[in-house]
Structure 1
């Protein structure tokens, strides 16, 4: 009897599943993060102990201008889960949007939002409402990335005050529409940072991007340094409703947790 033929679509899915379950045998730059594919559950009692990496946030004070867009990664006829609402810094010097990581300078390229938290603390039953990723690029170029992660809860007070995140996300453009300028308190996008290496508490690990630059892209597999702030910030219910209205399904535009267990470290 001739063997049954597997339909092409199913065959491709089986091949992808096999690729994702067989660990690479080398530790090249592209395979290193493959072992630690983000997002992951946050180890709040990290085996890596106290981090010795130094982080200085050198953002300018006051408002700065961002181009806010619905980042399109498919067609304008449908919204894809790999898309996001993001702000790209414009009209202010690179020197005003930099951080120093272990003595190397990283430039803020964009801040983008996942309409449900992607990382979850191991001691918490629920995900944060929203997760903001401030993506920075270092001297090594497009694959030298540092992401500052801000976990956002909903401000359910009777008259909630807008945060910097609300100011950036207010009435964003629809998919494929032109960008809209927003003036935002740059430093307000992250928890308060003292001017010393002993930064606000954070969990740290090396993982990967959670979405590729292009739909179906392969740039997941490069190492990305994550710094997840312990101190959370807020958004209003109105902002949350707007953000989640762009995507369907329980995950919205958030990638589900992977089974990876990278070594975490922390700062108090």
Structure 2
């Protein structure tokens, strides 16, 4: 493993935005929905920015065991840190009541799933954990950072009439369609803290020079600055960039910096 900044991949999406926010450069005549940080083979995580002008599909991801049973390498657990949100912007996470697999499939076919989703109002600084099996959708008018297992396995349940493939069989089979537990949502205070401590990966928010939440972590870290700059063994990393392979002891943060760090094997 060679610690380094990760290259970016810009992805056009019909639900993306025509004008990217700072620090990203504007892209003329394109609707950019995602900016990925291409992970090397030894990195089990993926970080990316999402920019939405309309709702994404309602979807669900399998866990590791469910994915392997379907020929995939791993499942997909993810989390979102909200950077910006227009007034009235929402995330769909969970369903208003428990739904069986048959009920979920029928609701997806009829379109009733739109009204059966729990739509949560969002503001900048909120953090959401999306475990495998969670029925979810990102609404329009939102900019966020997503950190996830390095997997692209997604089962699309409903896409508002857009002509894309649905995966109702697998999706309804792996879904745990229930209301969102309150523990999946955090209003991040402006202080360093562990946001997620899980079997697949953990995430911490770091404010300024307070590295205490990751001080004991020895494994490699994925680091995503939100504001300001961070140095890792003398390499500067700024908002809009991502670094893989950081060691906690090698991180030097500035007073005005804010960043996310993620890794596996620590809690």
TM-score with structure 2 setting the length:
0.24
Higher strand share goes to which structure? 2
